[in-house]
Amino acid sequence: MKIDLTDTTSSRINSALVEGRRVIGAPAIGMVLTLVIVTDEGSAYDAMRAASDASREHPSRILAVIKRPGRTPRDRARTRLDAEVLVGSDAGAGETVLLRLHGELVNHAESVVLPLLLPDAPVVVWWPADAPDNPAGHPLGCLGQRRITDAAAAEDPVAALGLRAASYTPGDTDLAWTRITPWRSTLAAALDQKHSAITSAVVEGEEYNPSAELLALWLADRLRVPVERTVSDGPGLTAVRLRTADGVICLDRPDGALAELAMPGQPDRHVALKRRETAELIAEELRRLDPDEIYKSAVQFGVERITAGARSATEQQPSQPQPELEPESEPVRKRAAPAKKSSGSAAQSKAENTK
């Protein structure tokens, strides 16, 4: 069921939700949380589709805050709230409200969202793109127990990780971190089988892939060994190599779907490491509402050094590789990246930057 409301208020939207549930014969509220999506018109469709799919595992009230400040002074002076209310089969396994904020109301979105939150239920705020520098300090971020960003959608993903580290507040997380969950699980399981001491590691991935940076930081933080970050053609993360006294443990995924795990003294085996859709990533994040201390430790481990390394690499010519630093002072090392891509290639690489 779909209800369109023009120039409306939060009170009328709540009344429309109650009326919609009554019409479809579902007066009880069986939702477990409120998911607030802060987006624009360009990203709204994909974000809503992902949230709707994730709601089948986590029945939610989805509030999409779509800001439309206006292009002219006259448009910006007009304050108006338009809403689109979806209940029943049109809204997945919960309820969906698209809130289009016009004019000055764009700067006071929290006053519209607050009356629509489910009572006594957790709130998760998600920025599919254009996340604030400090999510917890944002007026909408203050409403949530969890705040989800995506460094892969930023213009400079590595610099975005630096901002996440500087502004981290318990409850923050990033989809770049969620994307490496299968990699971390597979590597941890491999090390449970092989007890040789790790001496160094190499992480290969696309140049604009923040998940590769986070995986390198996680390995350096957990293992306390030098980790080298190298650039590959992708897609996404392509390989991790752990050097041990007995040989190299290699997890290689050249095609973005199936990986091969090679360990000294054991036969090679195939591991399913398919690059996951956004709906799967959001569903994973909604399974936990407590602070992710491992993410905090990884994103804050040497992130300033890896940002500086990325900047130095792009400033150099391909024939002038960046000198490696001593492992004692720099656990994470990064090779010089290839020559800068054209703006079109860089944009395409960042758009495909998922794991």
Reading the chain (355 residues) residue by residue, the pLDDT tens digits are 888 899 899 999 989 888 887 877 665 567 889 999 999 888 899 999 999 999 888 888 999 999 887 666 766 667 889 999 988 766 667 789 999 999 888 889 999 999 999 988 999 999 999 999 999 999 999 999 999 999 999 999 988 998 999 999 999 999 999 999 999 999 999 888 877 888 999 999 998 889 999 999 999 999 988 888 888 887 889 999 999 988 899 999 988 889 999 998 889 899 989 999 999 999 999 998 899 999 999 999 865 554 433 433 334 333 333 333 334 434 555 544 443 333 344 444 444 444 4
The answer to whether residue 167 is domain-embedded is: no
Q: How far is 352 from 222, CA to CA, in rounded Å?
A: 28
Residues 81, 230 within the same domain: no
3-state secondary structure 281-312: HHHHHHCCCCCCHHHHHHHCCCHHHHHHHHHH
Tell me, yes or no, whether 215 and 347 share the same domain: yes
pLDDT of residue 28: 55
CB 211: neighbour CB atoms within 10 A?
26
The stretches of the chain forming alpha helices (DSSP H) are 10-24, 41-54, 73-77, 109-113, 157-166, 175-178, 181-193, 210-223, 278-286, 293-299, 303-315, 343-351
Residue 292, domain member (yes or no): no
Name, in order, each residue with C-beta under 8 angstroms of 87's C-beta and a sequence gap of 6 or more.
1, 3, 17, 20, 21, 24, 26, 95, 96
Coil, helix or strand for 7?
coil
State how far the Cα of 165 lies from the Cα of 146, in Å rounded to an integer. Answer: 16
Rounded CA-CA distance 259/247 in Å is 19
Quote the pLDDT of residue 325.
Answer: 34
- Within this chain, do residues 95 and 232 fall inside the same structural domain, yes or no? no
Give the phi and the psi of residue 201 in degrees, each rounded to 5: -150, 155
Residue 314 is predicted with a pLDDT of 36
Task: Tell me the CB-side half-sphere exposure of residue 91, using CA atoms within 13 A.
Answer: 26
Classify residue 157: in a domain, yes or no: no
If asked whether residues 194 and 141 sit together in one domain, one would say: no
Q: Is residue 136 part of a domain?
A: yes
Q: Report CA torsion sign: 140, 142, 143, 149.
A: positive
Structure token pair of residue 171: 């409850």
106, exposed or middle or buried, with CB in 10 Å at 0-12, 13-18, 19+? middle
Sheet-wide strand order for 123-126: 2-5, 80-86, 95-102, 60-68, 33-39, 123-126, 146-149, 172-174
Last residue within a domain, chosen from 133, 149, 165: 149
Looking at the structure, do residues 242 and 346 belong to the same domain, yes or no? yes
Looking at the fold, whether 132 and 201 belong to one and the same domain comes out as: no
Q: How many CB atoms lie within 10 A of CB 40?
A: 14
Do 233 and 143 belong to one domain? Answer: no
Same domain flag for 185 and 85? no
Sign of the Cα pseudo-torsion (316, 308, 330, 165, in order): negative
Q: What does the pLDDT read at residue 30? A: 74
The number of distinct structural domains making up the chain is 2
- Same-domain pairing of 70 and 116: yes
pLDDT of residue 348: 42
Domain-embedded: residue 282: no
pLDDT at residue 72 in the model = 66
**CA distances to 203, 309, 315, 333 from 319, in Å:** 22, 17, 12, 18
- Residue 251 sits in the same domain as residue 108: no
Rg of the chain, C-alpha, whole Å = 23
Q: Is the peptide bond before 331 cis (omega within 30 degrees of 0)?
A: no
Structural domain that includes position 54: 2-149
Alpha-carbon distances, residue 19 vs 81, 152, 200 (angstroms):
19, 40, 61
Q: Looking at the structure, tell me whether residues 237 and 344 fall in a common domain.
A: yes
Domain boundary among 96, 127, 149: 149
Residues 328 and 226 grouped into a single domain: yes
210-223 vs 303-315: helix axis angle to the nearest 10?
130
Cβ within 8 Å of residue 21, ≥6 positions away:
27, 29, 87, 95
Per-residue pLDDT at 232: 87
